[in-house]
Chains A and B, each alone.
Chain A
Amino acid sequence: MLRILINALRTGVVTTRYPAEATVAPGRFRGAPVLLPGSRLPPPAVCPAGALSERFDSGGRHVALDLARCVFCGRCAVDPWEDAVTMGRDFELAARSREDLRIEVVADDPAAPTTRPLPDRDADAVRTSSEIRRVLGRSLHLRHLDAGSCNACDWELAALLNPVYDVRRLGIDFVASPRHADGVVVTGSVTRNLETAVRRTVEAIPEPRVVIAVGACGASGGIVGEGYASAGGVDRVLPVDVYIPGCPPRPEAIIFGILVAVGRLDARRSPRNA
């Protein structure tokens, strides 16, 4: 017992200050791809997850990236497209609608601006979820629901409870029963074999409730897509309030998404980092 106490004191506090203080991901981290207009952008077939698309009009070739589908593999950012696409380090990507996760650039026109709808997510959140914020804002109890994930997103959710992220310090906790929950974090593309269980679990959560789709599979079907055994994303089965891109999203990206869901981001940022 004494040894345990000494070890605990020696270890000290390992908990991050995120989101009060911003975090910079390591140099090799593959966050949101940055598409440079006017350069030779890759053809859609390059993307194994189908996140890239293109269309042609009088303005030229438009290339669009769907961050909800992106698995952040970096294949579009290697030779011969390394000048056209770079993997950025931004991981705070959660959004309240699929449209907000679409980035479109005009490939042939260097002057054309990148259309990335950058909504004021927090203002938007406050507007659309004032009820949720009023009822749940200070403390949020979530139920995890695995709808057929690869377990990576699940491990990152479990990591939120480790001493480094410790989301309980933010008033967020994971509960065992949907009846105790204010919302649900769903991982996986919703398999055929889980569809009934997913619906029933969410219906068991009292209203108002938030539904957060975590990771590429939950947000869009991801690399799994739609098929005989997979619905192709949580919003094919249930209304989704917030989408968190990533394959998997790193723990801080999930914290960011949960705070977007309850419109609480402003309150957590200390003034000097805001």
Chain B
Amino acid sequence: MTDLTLMDALRACADGSVVADVGPRPSDLTVRLDRTSDLPAAAAVLIGPHSMTLATVVATDETATPGGDLKIRYVFEPTAPGAPDRFVTLMVSMDAARPEVPSLTTIVPAANWHERESRDLFGIVPIGHPDPRPLVVHDGWPQGVFPLRKAFDGSRRVPVEPANEFPHLVAEGEGVFEIPVGPIHAGIIEPGHFRFTSVGETVLHLDARLFYAHRGLEKRIEGLSPIDAFYVAERICGVCSVAHGLGYCEALEQIAGVDVPPRARLIRSIALELERLYNHVGDIGNICAGAAFHYGTTTGMRLKERLQQMNEQIAGNRFLRGLMVPGGARLDLPDDLLRVLRATLQETLAGLDNLMGRIEANPSVVDRLDDTGVLQHQAALDLAVAGVAARASGVDRDARRDHPHGAFAGPTPPDLHVVTMSEGDAMARMTVRALEARESIRLVDEFVRRIEPGPLQVALAEPLPGGRIGISAIESPRGEAVHWLRTDAGGRIDRYHLRSPSYHNWPAVLLAAETAIVPDFPLVNKSFELCYSCTDR
């Protein structure tokens, strides 16, 4: 579809004025809608005839700038495999005294949590949203206090007010039981609350309450220098450190208008694949734990440990923190480390093949995984599910191909085999991981062969240009993460928003769990293996 037909369709559905600009990137489009009431029709055009999906939603408080107000941007992206790399942003302004926007959740289900979050943090009310409950702020948060408004002082703690018990969404009836789980769990895992309603072992409904790990990091980053903010972005999530560090860097480098040298691009992409690899291998081990296959669990742990020890050798940190900086790579990968890298990956490949062989030859494990926790293809599309979970339900999307980054953004990107399956069950998610882990090993090998001598970093001009927006999408181990960054007039961070893959995938876990029995929930959950910390921020 050309921009012309897209713009004609948007104009046709709007009563008010529709103004389009190129941006944030040259391939992107930002459409300003004069009237908030035109938003649902415009969104319907994008998701319908233009087969786009929701990438992220970013609210901003611009009341401090002359003539400013509150703004909300719904950012869409194409879904067709091989579609051009672009984002289309629908932007509306609201009066800060009465910020209201028609909810898109009923036509774009993926907007559900985004709109609840904007309501909690900015006070932007999504009119017609089906769920009035708070999402990010929990019991005792004072009414009418919106922490991401600029007037709010984020450095202070806010008193806890008396509160009623949170209204969980539950099923009711004779013989229906409620099972509360969390936020503190029995294992060494992150915090979240799950409320099952069940009859016997059958799950009737599962409601989740997350954001226990909400640390206020997006507020923390505001006002920082772009370099300082990088160290926060790299620490939003431990097991996505490379992906989020890279996403932040690429958004920042867009604003700075610099090109990262080829050697640094390759090092960053090697790190991204190594992160995927230790995650995927560890996740396969964890899935075995969910299926009570102890040999598989310990083998997965041992292979993951070997990879994390190698991470420490090459980056000085077992989570690969410190390998990159804005502008390039901080540490080089000299030949001796590249040899260590290749040898370790060959060892890992042999170990992984062996582990998968043992799993597939074990009928009691296969029986637990087959048809367990099914995520339907249509549900994966509606919820804009990302990554392994999407590809295991037949959604052919991968940000390395759809929004090229790292070494994939170079002039001759390597071939990428995007693995998809159609079953959508725990078995499919595990199999996709195993195949992707092998693909990561192949890619690292190719990146290593492509490495040539050259500079590691390019300098970023200081201060950075003010009032510019950068947007990037990175394929993290869990799927596409979208970073949105804007500098203030002085070149410091005005607003940063991360939409992690887990943010879109959690609602899918709840759907998939309803196809399983209560005792299988740990297995279903581990087969998605989502992050709480990068959802909650």
Contacts and interface: CB of A to CB of B under 8 A. Distances in A.
Say whether A and B bind each other. yes
Interface of A: 3-4, 7-8, 11, 14, 25-30, 48-49, 71-75, 78, 87, 144-146, 148-159, 161-164, 174, 176-177, 188-189, 191-194, 197, 201, 222-231, 247-248, 250
A150 B236 contact: yes
A162 B301 contact: yes
B220 A224 contact: yes
B211 A193 contact: yes
A197 B183 contact: yes
Interface of B: 137-138, 147, 152, 154-158, 160, 183-184, 186-191, 211-217, 219-220, 227-228, 230-232, 235-239, 241, 295, 298-299, 301-302, 304-305, 308, 312-319, 321-322, 330-331, 354, 357-358, 361, 531-533, 536
**Chief secondary structure at chain B's binding surface:** loop
A158 B188 contact: yes
Contacts of B230: 48
Given A149-B533, A229-B147, A162 B305 contact: yes
Nearest to A143: B184
Contact of A146 (B154, B158, B189, B219): B189
28 contacts: A28-B315, A30-B316, A148-B214, A148-B533, A149-B190, A150-B235, A150-B238, A151-B238, A151-B532, A152-B238, A152-B239, A155-B239, A159-B305, A162-B302, A163-B302, A164-B302, A174-B187, A176-B186, A191-B214, A191-B215, A197-B183, A224-B217, A225-B220, A227-B216, A228-B158, A231-B157, A247-B235, A248-B238
A144 B191 CA distance: 11
Contacts of A197: 183-184, 191, 212
B215 A30 contact: no
Contact of B216 (A8, A158, A164, A228): A228
A8 B533 contact: no
A177 B186 CA distance: 6
Contacts of A48: 227-228, 230-232
Contacts of A230: 215-216
Contacts of A26: 312-313, 316
Contacts of A154: 188-190, 238
A161 B313 CA distance: 22
A247 B187 CA distance: 21
A71 B160 CA distance: 30
Nearest to B214: A229
A74 B330 CA distance: 10
A226 B312 contact: no
Contacts, number: 188
A188 B187 CA distance: 16
A71 B302 contact: no
A191 B210 CA distance: 12
A228 B533 contact: no
A150 B237 contact: yes
A7 B231 contact: no
A30 B322 contact: yes
Given A191-B214, A223-B235, A146 B312 contact: no
Given A155-B239, A176-B186, A227-B157, A74 B322 contact: yes
Contacts of B152: 228
